[in-house]
Amino acid sequence: MSRRAVYTALAISMFAFRATGAQQPLTPLTADAEANAQLTSIVSATREAGLPIQPILSKVRYAVVVAHAPAPTVVAAARAIASRLVASREALAPQPSDLDIAAGADALGVVGVETKSLKAIRAVSPKHSVVVPLGVLAQLVSSRVPASKATDIVTELMKRGASPQQLVALGNNVNSDVASGENAAKALDVRFRGLNAVLAPGASPAAADLPGAALTGPKKP
């Protein structure tokens, strides 16, 4: 499944989740009544837990409309995202925004990324949005950079005061290098050295924060 397509699907939803007083069901998503009931339960529980439901809705839309996935697969995908949203909020505590939580859940959906990477990024920027660093982390690991290395470099650049644009450019450049046949870890080392050389020493870590950019800036492999 193309991660670029998944990000495109984030912008729209194929159904409405109505909430006027009593709980209302989801508009039917598939011809499978049991699957619809399970999806309604997953979304309802997620919303009642105070978590963003849009990542689930978008994933379901992609699975149904684009991938034409069977009902059990759609339900499993929704359940997995709901679980990652919970883990993301816990890792980004104490008060992450919905955008932070969604970005963290997306990062956790990349093989190799664990909650310790989210916690490391939050530790560098405890009071500001970490959407951009999380998006770049996800992009780097998707480009086959080891998660530990990607985490170390993203957090180091945050400490050095790298701007959102610089972080996004780093991820995009590494992605392009890998697409051209370069080794992912080596490409990241080269790009990191180049960026690190132009960063002012002692810059504020808060400069690396920009809500929302991680969902639109980095290009997905």
Summarised one tens digit per residue, pLDDT across range 75-134 is 999 999 999 999 999 999 999 999 999 999 999 999 999 999 999 999 999 999 999 999
Confidence tier at 24 by pLDDT (50, 70, 90)? very low
Model pLDDT, residue 26: 54
Residue that is last in its domain, among 76, 91, 106: 91
Q: Are 65 and 55 in contact (CB under 8 A)?
A: no
Q: Which of 35, 68, 91 is the last residue before a domain boundary?
A: 91
Identify the domain boundary among 72, 91, 110: 91
pTM for this structure?
A: 0.79
Q: What is the pLDDT of residue 217?
A: 52
Q: Is 19 in the same domain as 85?
A: yes
Residues 142 and 184 in one domain: yes
Are 85 and 60 contained in the same domain?
Answer: yes
Number of domains in the chain: 2
Maximum CA extent, the chain: 59
Answer yes or no: do 193 and 103 share one domain: yes
More confident residue, 17 or 83: 83
Give the whole-angstrom CA distance, residue 100 versus residue 133: 10
Please tell me the predicted confidence (pLDDT) of residue 120.
98
Residues 112 and 41 in one domain: no
Are residues 62 and 128 both part of a single domain?
A: no
102 and 85, same domain (yes or no): no
What CA–CA distance (Å, rounded) separates 211 from 133?
10
Q: Give the separation between CA 164 and CA 169, rounded to whole angstroms.
A: 8
Beta bridge partners, 22, equal 20
User: Domain range holding 121?
Assistant: 98-221
- Same domain, yes or no, for 174 and 107? yes
